Structure 1
Amino acid sequence: MNKYDVIIIGGGPAGLFAAIMCAANQNKKIALLEKNKSCGRKLLMAGAGKCNITQAGDIEHFLTCYGTNAKFLKHALLSFQNKDLLDFFKQRGLEFMTTEKGKVFPKSLKSQDVLNILLDECKKRKVNICYETPVQSLVKEQELFYVQTSQGVYESPIVVVATGGLSYPHTGSTGEGLVWAKSFGHKIIPTKPALTPLKIKNYELSDMSGTSFEELPYTLWRNGKKIGSYQGDFLLTHTGVSGPGIINNSRFMQSGDVIKCNFVAAESIEEFRSNLTKKLNHGGKTLVKSIVRELNLTKRFADKVLELCEINDDLKCAELTKATRQKLLTTLTEYEMEVKELGGYHVAMVTTGGVSIKEISPKTMESKKVSNLYFIGEVLDIDGDTGGYNIQAAMSTAYIASQAINK
């Protein structure tokens, strides 16, 4: 029998950091069980392999970046802030850079450097990382947990579940933690991919793939009703739309929804339409394409708009029909795209849904149903925007759980 003071299941950033912090008490015997041959496989993918580890700015701003469940994270984020996270790595020799949009990366732009520090610290603190040890079952009898694995049974009075969500399943994230939580009576909020691009039905813009828009405003509609207004950087792909402006709000979207894009970023659509209508009505022999190309669009995209509206190169303003003008105005300010599907777990950065936070203490991450059982990171029903918010949440929840365990 493998007996430990604390067993942590899952070797992502939350699990590794929890192990390090729990092992700050040198008298504790800590085991980290990892199903893969190596830890941190999803961490290595963060920020396209460059590891966008957190976001600059104050924590109050952070609390606007976790959807409807942000309040649950307030204590964790205040207890272990972005500055604390960066200080931990700086004290171990890692330097950082911050982009104009506040994303923080290691100066080396290598995720491996972040992972190496976490692994080195585990080694220094004598954490026993058990690789290729998938957990088959987790039960509690009296005051002890029994963790059945492919390598035998592990025993501990304290278990921390840090198994992540369902995104990027090839990294080993397959949702076992949700199964164990359910077996202990926890409610599981239905999961779906989040931070994901969208595939568009009858997509007309595949030849515009790679075209991007800064701070593009758009609205979200469901069954003919507007359910949200958003703004953010926007990217056209071969099959649909992506970019932070879409990815960060994909948690609110579903198949069949319609997004209406304001490609000219008009603050007042009515005013823009009125002004452009006057210009076209008084344009006379001026070519319509000349007026459209004057708008705040790339020439390539302006020409695509003309193509969608079936406006020929030689069409003059005086020849523009009311119907074609209306189609042009709508295409520029409220171009409709119907969501065919969200990108699946294989492309989603995180999972929305998970262990219900109503049954978890926000001060300690301990289960309210089962004493000494902790849930941290993405296994919980929390998901942040893209930009370092999810790694910060993983490490902040790991920190307060370990502080509670070490008391």
Structure 2
Amino acid sequence: MEEYDVVITGGGPAGLFCALWSGRMCRNEGQEKKILLLEKKESCGKKLMLSGLGQCNVTNARDIKDFTDRYGDAGRFVRPSLFGFTNRDLISFFEERGIPLTEENGGKVFPKSKKASDILDLLLLECEKNGVEIRCSESVIFVDTDNDRFITKTENSEYLSGSLVIATGGKSYPGTGSSGDGYRFAETLGHSVTEIAPALCAVYPSEYPFSSLSGISFENISVSLYDGNKKTRQITGDLLLTHKGLSGPCILHMSRYIRAGNILKVSFIKEKSQDEFRKEFTQKISETGTMKIKTVLSGYGLPERFVKLILSLSGIETDMTCAHLSKKARNGLISNLTEYPFLIKRTGSFNEAMATAGGVLLSEINSKTMESKIVPNLYFIGEVLDIDGDTGGYNLQAAFSTAHMAALRICSKNI
């Protein structure tokens, strides 16, 4: 059985970053620790290469104080990591090592080359510089403890280590190696795992009459989530109609909370509540009797094809004038425009999802060290944790920040 000070399972961004910083910081403190990173695929960073459509949205340029709201209920937990290694620290890390970055819409930060391979190559180079041993095609099949040490078994070997870092990712894009192994390891070592579900994905309603409008988008509109009759979430953002369902930033961000059987109510009228729109629209109808209803609706910035379809769904003829609109039909139209209900059949699969909702229970992890509260010298970092952020670089930043936090803790101990 080969012995190491630290074994890291998973060669994604979190695993690589933890490995290189563990090696770097330990060396700076005069410690020569043997660090091994095990990757199940034939090469590291498979999922990183897909991020941002291969362009790698590494972080976001917004103020780090605004980040915590981007992780749903996990924002408070991830805050110490984010403030311990900020987006500015990450940007400096890459740029000081010859990878210039650029900021684009919404604060998204990419390498100027728009090549994820540049980011991966640098991470691998830094691991090499800092004495990290990487073994690919080494799929971990079992982990256990032996007194105060860890046993990590792969298909080829067994390793003994003083510290163990689980950085196996979630279940999204399983073809890249993220098949949920880390959850099994966590449970073997006594940890709890919350419900796992796809996140940052499209949603598919049971009935969907908007297929013909695929590609039409709406900016800054309100979407509300209902569990039965109870409203549980509301978000404002951009929405995209696809051939089979709903997508766009606000849907992707909401998807972490959506389950089959939930109802999404969409307001296609931006910046107005239903009551505000009802009052204004009713007044316009009464003042413009000879004008066509579709003409009034066009004044709200609604696409013409959408207006025709929503009128049809409301049982209103396309060329009907305001004077001929009954109160019942008007109320039905207002309801369809401000709270159109979609009964959700399913969310996108893990093959479609950009992230995983759920993971290792956060209450069992020290948020200031990423160390297990149950097993000393056991660490969980990145997406294996019950942390999933919005689109825009937030998930990668969390991966890098939690990895750095764990490395700090590892190097502060005499193993």
What's the TM-score once normalised by structure 2's chain length? 0.95
1:250 to 245, 255, 271: 255
In structure 2, the residue matched to 1:202 is 207
The number of aligned residues is 407
Amino acid at match of 2:112: K
Given the alignment of the two structures, is residue 363 of structure 1 paired with residue 368 of structure 2, yes or no? yes
In structure 2, the residue matched to 1:19 is 19
Amino acid at match of 1:116: D
Residue range with higher mean Cα deviation, 160-169 or 290-299: 290-299
Q: Could you tell me how far 1:308 is from its partner in structure 2?
A: 2.2
Given the alignment of the two structures, is residue 269 of structure 1 paired with residue 274 of structure 2, yes or no? yes
Q: Could you tell me how far 1:256 is from its partner in structure 2?
A: 1.4
Q: Could you tell me how far 1:314 is from its partner in structure 2?
A: 3.1
Q: Could you tell me how far 1:71 is from its partner in structure 2?
A: 1.3
Residue range with higher mean Cα deviation, 370-379 or 121-130: 121-130
Residue range with higher mean Cα deviation, 301-310 or 131-140: 301-310
1:169 to 171, 174, 186: 174
Q: Is the 8 A contact 1:266 1:272 kept in 2?
A: no
1:353 to 349, 358, 365: 358
In structure 1, the residue matched to 2:79 is 74
SS for the counterpart of 1:215 is strand
Q: Evaluate the alpha carbon distance shift between residue 6 and residue 282 of structure 1 in structure 2; reply closer, same or farther with a 3 A threshold.
A: same
2:243 to 238, 248, 255: 238
In structure 1, the residue matched to 2:55 is 50
SS for the counterpart of 1:57 is coil
Q: Evaluate the alpha carbon distance shift between residue 392 and residue 274 of structure 1 in structure 2; reply closer, same or farther with a 3 A threshold.
A: same
What's the TM-score once normalised by structure 1's chain length? 0.97
Q: Is the 8 A contact 1:357 1:381 kept in 2?
A: yes
Q: Could you tell me how far 1:359 is from its partner in structure 2?
A: 1.2
Percent identity (aligned): 45
In structure 2, the residue matched to 1:291 is 296
Q: Is the 8 A contact 1:376 1:394 kept in 2?
A: yes
Q: In the TM superposition, what whole-angstrom CA distance separates every residue of 1:144-185 from its partner, at most 9, and x where no partner exists?
A: 212111121112111111001111111111111111111111
Q: Could you tell me how far 1:228 is from its partner in structure 2?
A: 2.1
1:381 to 382, 386, 394: 386
CA distance in 1, matches of 2:290, 2:88: 61
2:347 to 307, 322, 342: 342
Given the alignment of the two structures, is residue 213 of structure 1 paired with residue 218 of structure 2, yes or no? yes
SS for the counterpart of 2:383 is helix
CA distance in 2, matches of 1:93, 1:254: 44
Amino acid at match of 2:11: G
Q: Could you tell me how far 1:29 is from its partner in structure 2?
A: 1.5
Q: Could you tell me how far 1:211 is from its partner in structure 2?
A: 0.9
Deviant stretches of 4+, over 4 Å = none
Q: Is the 8 A contact 1:164 1:379 kept in 2?
A: yes
SS for the counterpart of 2:57 is coil
Q: Is the 8 A contact 2:274 2:334 kept in 1?
A: no
CA distance in 1, matches of 2:79, 2:264: 31
Q: Could you tell me which runs of 5 or more consecutive residues in structure 1 were left unpaired when the two chains were aligned.
A: none
Q: Is the 8 A contact 1:36 1:131 kept in 2?
A: yes
In structure 1, the residue matched to 2:191 is 186
SS for the counterpart of 1:339 is strand
1:154 to 146, 156, 159: 159
RMSD: 1.4
Q: Could you tell me how far 1:116 is from its partner in structure 2?
A: 1.0
